[in-house]
């Protein structure tokens, strides 16, 4: 009967775990075998139980291979104990033998305990691989006694508590047994008759309990497989129903409103949550301390998809455990794999770390936008959707963008994406177009260069006021308020005209009082005499010796002065 049950369960149950999580393949090719190797290069044959030791090593009850396998945190799979042939030999490593082991657990000292199903025994493996029989005569029975005087009937699950006691899901006896560190076996709960009675100790009943775990404060949780329930046993032996209606189903709800389909393994975390390998639902379920059941991982359709949460798939998950840091491991029996579920914490939206000077740039330049967060930073041109246009904490924009304002969005990715993208904007400013005046001056004059189109200017020669002696040009560079520099020089052309050579002659430099004389100017086109005259000839009648001046102006407006003296 027990063997038939075991085969039915082996073929038909499912395990699932769902939270903020990423499901991946830790080890196993997916094909039945017993190859020792790393990760997916290794192989298993219907792995049914898993546990972790204090160092994070994972131990597997490799049911079809009659072995206990060990997987290091790096994924290296070796045979810890078992010859590979069905048997019950005690010995070291591969000298020892098992018969369809289904459950494993560890204690604080690193010892591994095995529910040796078809040998009806509980075996113990020391850290060096020495296998001994902790309890069980090897003959089917339900005797409470010490060590090999006690008996079991197809034990399927084991767990340990903080005091070194071992608890056994004695499947075909429909009991939960307890083994002290001295090897004394007693019945913790279960009448031995099939049922679902909640009561104290042997007044309670189970229906093929398969897996169990302790929560660290003295409670034991039982995957009561054929009752489709998760039962709880307190330290005083009181049995209650934590979750499950008793009907086959996959309903997420609280307490008895939830449903399972042949749950066969359980494990608890540091917060008192219980995780269930829901065998025939092909899911991992989670039960909070208040009894709320949710689907932690698994679509419910048999498969081997590695993905997040309910997008992943399992095929009859049969064993479940947590390592010291809270990662979850699944004996995915139907897939011949060991799967891993790691907590996936969605990263926070990236923090904009772009230098403020990079948010205002000039046409023709690129800029560097920056953001930080946990995980990988991906850049997008849209606030949602679209394809990533760059990856990394820095994004260098194109230098061919037109003048205007632009927005890009940074998203952080770990095992999932940040809930929102961070907007990072920048502006491309136009280069100033500088215009400037040109002109002409007479030799000796100054000229003020007056540019327009920018905020500040840099003048060739350093000044806007110039007084060249020869015709020349000056270049000017303008800078806008955004700090952009004009792409080309503005040129101020300046023509310098020579001043006219003004001549002045007198008919006579000596005259008598009362006489007149003519002063004649030349070299210009218009004249201005100190007497007020404006002709090139000025007639004067001085009464004293007098110096007369004449200013001549040429066609370019340039002027010069000459002097002429007359003495009466």
CATH of residue 73's domain is 2.120.10.30
Looking at 372, 393, 426, which one is the last position of a domain?
Answer: 426
C-alpha span between 157 and 288 (Å, rounded): 22
- Three-class secondary structure of residue 310 per DSSP: helix
Q: Kindly state the DSSP code that residue 44 receives in the 8-state scheme.
A: B
Strand order, beta sheet including 220-224: 209-214, 220-224, 229-233, 239-243
Same domain assignment for residues 330 and 372: no
Same domain assignment for residues 259 and 336: yes
| pTM of structure | 0.68
Contacts of residue 312, Cβ cutoff 8 Å, sequence gap at least 6: 23, 297, 298, 299, 305, 306
Query: Tokens for 66?
Result: 């009659």
Looking at 464, 497, 530, which one is the last position of a domain?
Answer: 497
Write a three-state SS string for 488-520: CCEEEEEEEECCCCCEEEECCCECCCCCCEEEE
Same domain assignment for residues 316 and 291: yes
- Three-class secondary structure of residue 403 per DSSP: coil
Same domain assignment for residues 225 and 174: yes
What's the number of domains the chain is made of?
A: 4
Same domain assignment for residues 461 and 407: no
Q: Residue 239 domain-assigned?
A: yes
Same domain assignment for residues 85 and 116: yes
Q: Is the Cβ–Cβ distance between 281 and 298 less than 8 Å?
A: yes
Question: Which is nearest to 133 in space by CA: 118, 120, 123?
Answer: 123
Q: Print the domain residue range for 25.
A: 19-345
Same domain assignment for residues 414 and 445: no
Same domain assignment for residues 104 and 200: yes
Chain Cα centroid distance, residue 178: 46
Q: Residue 115 domain-assigned?
A: yes
Q: Is 357 left (phi over 0), alpha (psi -120 to 50) or beta?
A: alpha
Contacts of residue 270, Cβ cutoff 8 Å, sequence gap at least 6: 216, 326
Q: Residue 354 domain-assigned?
A: no
Same domain assignment for residues 266 and 178: yes
- Three-class secondary structure of residue 11 per DSSP: helix
Same domain assignment for residues 228 and 328: yes
Q: How confident is the prediction along the chain (568 residues), in pLDDT tens digits per residue?
A: 333 333 333 333 333 333 368 999 999 999 999 999 999 999 999 999 999 999 999 999 999 999 999 999 999 999 999 999 999 999 999 999 999 999 999 999 999 999 999 999 999 999 999 999 999 999 999 999 999 999 999 999 999 999 999 999 999 999 999 999 999 999 999 999 999 999 999 999 999 999 999 998 999 999 999 999 999 999 999 999 999 999 999 999 999 999 999 999 999 999 999 999 999 999 999 999 999 999 999 999 999 999 989 999 999 999 999 999 999 999 999 999 999 999 877 788 999 999 999 999 999 999 999 999 988 999 999 999 999 999 999 999 999 999 999 999 999 988 777 779 999 999 999 999 999 999 999 999 999 999 999 999 999 878 899 999 999 999 999 999 999 999 999 999 999 999 999 999 988 878 888 889 998 999 999 999 999 999 999 999 988 988 989 999 999 999 988 776 666 6
Contacts of residue 180, Cβ cutoff 8 Å, sequence gap at least 6: 164, 165
- Helices and strands (DSSP H and E) totals, the chain: 1, 47
C-alpha span between 16 and 436 (Å, rounded): 78
| Exposed/middle/buried for residue 74 (C-beta within 10 Å: 0-12, 13-18, 19+) | exposed
Same domain assignment for residues 415 and 548: no
Residues facing 409 on adjacent strands = 380, 423
Same domain assignment for residues 36 and 75: yes
User: CA of 322: how far to CAs of 53, 283, 466, 515, 540, in Å?
Assistant: 10, 16, 85, 133, 125
């Amino acid at each position: 009967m027990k063997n038939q049950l075991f085969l039915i369960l082996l073929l038909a149950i499912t395990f699932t775990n769902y939270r903020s999580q990423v499901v991946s393949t830790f080890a196993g090719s997916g094909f039945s075998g017993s190859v020792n190797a790393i990760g997916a290069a290794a192989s298993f044959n219907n792995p049914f139980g898993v546990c972790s030791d204090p160092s994070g090593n994972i131990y597997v009850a490799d049911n079809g291979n009659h072995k206990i396998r060990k997987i290091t945190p790096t994924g290296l799979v070796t045979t810890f104990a078992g010859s590979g042939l069905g048997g019950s030999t005690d010995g070291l490593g591969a000298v020892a033998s098992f018969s369809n082991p289904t459950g494993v657990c560890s204690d604080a000292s690193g010892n591994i305990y095995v529910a040796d199903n078809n040998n009806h025994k509980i075996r113990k493996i020391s850290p060096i691989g020495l296998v001994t029989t902790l309890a069980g005569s090897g003959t089917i029975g339900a005797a409470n006694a010490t060590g090999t005087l006690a008996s079991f009937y197809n034990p399927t699950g084991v767990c340990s508590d903080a005091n070194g006691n071992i608890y056994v899901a004695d499947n075909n006896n429909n009991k939960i047994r307890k083994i002290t560190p001295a090897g004394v076996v007693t019945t913790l709960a279960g009448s031995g008759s099939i049922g679902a009675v909640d009561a104290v100790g042997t007044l309670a009943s189970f229906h093929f309990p398969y897996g169990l775990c302790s929560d660290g404060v003295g409670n034991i949780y039982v995957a009561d497989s054929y009752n489709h329930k998760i039962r709880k046993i307190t330290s005083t032996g009181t049995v209650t129903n934590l979750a499950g209606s008793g009907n086959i189903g996959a309903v997420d709800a609280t307490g008895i409103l939830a449903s399972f389909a042949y749950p066969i393994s359980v494990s608890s975390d540091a917060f008192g949550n219980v995780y269930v390998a829901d065998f025939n639902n092909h899911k991992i379920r989670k039960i909070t301390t208040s009894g709320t059941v949710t689907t932690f991982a698994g679509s419910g359709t048999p498969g081997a998809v590695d993905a997040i949460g309910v997008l992943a798939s399992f095929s009859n998950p049969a064993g479940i455990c947590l390592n010291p840091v809270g990662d979850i491991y699944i004996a995915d029996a139907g897939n011949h794999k060991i799967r891993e579920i790691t907590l996936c914490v969605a990263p926070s939206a990236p923090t904009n770390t772009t230098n403020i000077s990079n948010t205002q740039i000039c046409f023709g330049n690129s800029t560097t936008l920056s953001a930080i967060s946990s995980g990988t930073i991906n850049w997008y041109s849209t606030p949602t959707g679209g394809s990533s246009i760059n990856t990394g904490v820095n994004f260098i924009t194109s230098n061919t963008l037109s003048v205007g304002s632009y927005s890009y969005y940074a998203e952080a990715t770990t095992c999932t994406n940040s809930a929102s993208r961070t907007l990072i904007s920048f502006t491309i400013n136009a280069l100033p177009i500088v215009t400037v005046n040109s002109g002409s001056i007479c030799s000796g004059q100054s000229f003020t260069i007056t540019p327009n189109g920018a905020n500040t200017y840099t003048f060739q020669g350093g000044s806007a006021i110039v007084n060249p002696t020869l015709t020349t040009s000056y270049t000017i560079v303008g800078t806008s308020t955004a700090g952009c520099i004009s792409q080309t020089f503005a040129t101020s052309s300046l023509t310098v005209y020579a001043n006219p050579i003004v001549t002045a002659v007198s008919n006579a430099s000596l005259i008598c009082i009362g006489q007149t004389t003519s002063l004649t100017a030349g070299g210009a086109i218009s004249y201005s005499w100190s007497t007020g005259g404006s002709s090139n000839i000025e007639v004067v009648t001085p009464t004293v010796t007098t110096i007369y001046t004449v200013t001549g102006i040429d066609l370019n407006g340039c002027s010069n002065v000459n002097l002429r003296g007359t003495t009466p």
